[in-house]
Amino acid sequence: MAYIEPAPIKDKENPLESMMERFNLAAEKLGLSDEVYNVLKNPAKQVIVSIPVTMDSGKIQVFEGIRVIHSNILGPAKGGIRFAPDVHLDEVKALAAWMTWKCAVVDIPYGGGKGGVRCNPREMSAGEIERLMRGYTKAMLDVFGPDKDIPAPDMGTGPREMAWLMDEYSRAKGTTINAVVTGKPLVLGGSLGRTEATGRGVMVTALAAMQKLKINPFQATCAVQGFGNVGSWASQLLEERGLKIVAISDISGAYHNENGINIQEAIAYRDSNKGTLEGFKGGDKLADPMDLLELDVDVLVPAAVEDVITVKNVDRIKAKLIVEGANGPTSAKADAIINEKGIMAVPDILANAGGVTVSYFEWVQNRLGYKWTAERVNRRSDRILKDAFDHVYEASQKYNVPMRIAAYIVAIDKVAKTYTFRGGF
């Protein structure tokens, strides 16, 4: 359950178009000028490198590495590095832009970036992955930097790879610079509170939304899809605040209990059972795990994978509130029907922004040369998430748009205004 910096894996055919669809709607509502629209539509920088790596066989293999900086108007670019066999420039461009909007929604001083290396880490030894990560870092020495572009883990990478990146960058600069990357192991300057950060943000935004919808947490029911990092932390924290979690699920199936599932027990069971809920007896197993999404609950938290709420099932969804722990769980076409049904959906770029917020705290602590307590990290990230929710809610009222488009409006407006004030173009 390694930390992964937020990134959507929406429409696999063309992720750039999927992101642009929502961007365009928000830009139109906002009355964005053509000039600024064109600037924000295009990434500021795209770098493609070839990375020769000596494989264990002794042969040299050349890998393609990409880094895209979509915008650095608000501050240094921030975004993960994805190691995957099918990663491509269009995808990385979409993910980089998406990071710009996400950081802007939670008002942290970062632009958006993303990286990718076309490789299959599952088929590579630890030594090969290390040489690839170091090679990628060397090739990106002029791109990365604590004031320029700060990578983090994404699919196929984790704290181990970030440690290699930090070391390679520091060797080249002749001094330890841990603020060049986030998602590091704790001992290298990672932040306390980061593991639970995303689930915590889901809890904070869910409670804020419930307040607006006048749903009493102590009388509310909730179903959570996905019981990994985000889903299990969100379940635990929501349960602690009074909600009855009546269903949870993971790749092994969905488990339902009208009287409420004991989340501590479920976590303990998963941890003692190779990370899966298979065989969990705290609830009845649903015949079809996707039925979890259609249960008659107040709050639904999709926290597993993308594209699970689609035109195929959205008609049968009964929840009053959806809080997107996962990235891209709702397809663009289902969006419209959710809105027609009057369901409030707290979008991914807001609901799961707790992760990037604590990444930002990791960078702040590294630069201060100081370590905050978990309590301080939690308090500060709760405040950021609550403020972000309030801004997005206000925008949704002002522009009479759903929360998703309102989140894009808040983000685009901030970047556009900063761009216009800075000028120089």
Residues making up the annotated binding site for NAD(+) are 198, 229
Question: Residue 77 belongs to what H/E stretch?
Answer: strand 77-84
Given the residues 10, 29, 93, 114, the one annotated as active site: 114
Give 71 or 235: the residue with its C-beta nearer to ligand NAD.
235
Residue 127 structure tokens? 């030594």
Rounded least distance, CB 57 to ligand NAD, Å: 31
Q: Cβ 326 to ligand NAD, closest distance in Å?
A: 3
Contact 300, 324 (CB under 8 A): no
Cβ 400 to ligand NAD shortest distance, Å = 28
Q: Is 114 a catalytic residue?
A: yes
Which C-beta is closer to ligand NAD: that of 155 or that of 177? 155
Name the residue nearer to ligand NAD (CB basis): 98 or 393: 98
Query: Which secondary-structure segment (H or E) carries 51?
Result: strand 45-54
- Around 207, how many Cα atoms within 13 Å sit in the side-chain half-sphere? 21
Annotated binding site: 78, 102, 198, 229, 359
Question: Which of 240, 234, 224, 243 lies closest to 203, judged by CA?
Answer: 234
Work out how close the CB of 358 gets to ligand NAD at its nearest, in angstroms, rounded to a whole number: 9
Q: How far is CA 290 from CA 70, 234, 260, 263, in A?
A: 36, 19, 19, 20
Q: Report the relative pairing of strands 253-256 and 284-285 from DSSP bridges.
A: antiparallel
Nearer to ligand NAD, 149 or 250 (CB): 250
Closer Cβ to ligand NAD, 43 or 231, answer by number = 231
Residue with CB nearest ligand NAD? 228
Residue numbers at the binding site for ligand NAD (CB under 6 A) = 1, 3-4, 6, 198, 225-231, 249-251, 289, 303-305, 325-327, 352, 355
What is the closest distance, in whole angstroms, from the C-beta atom of residue 189 to ligand NAD in the complex?
18
Check if the beta carbon of residue 9 is closer than 8 Å to that of residue 327: yes
With beta carbons less than 8 A apart as the criterion, state whether 197 and 354 touch. Answer: yes
| DSSP bridge partners of 273 | none
Which is it for the CA torsion 95, 8, 151, 414, positive or negative? positive
Segments in 140-250 forming alpha helices (H): 159-173, 194-212, 229-240
Q: How much is the CA Rg of the chain, to the nearest whole Å?
A: 21
Q: Which residues sit in the known binding site for substrate?
A: 78, 102, 359
* Euclidean distance between CA atoms 115 and 160, whole angstroms: 17
Give catalytic residue positions. Answer: 114
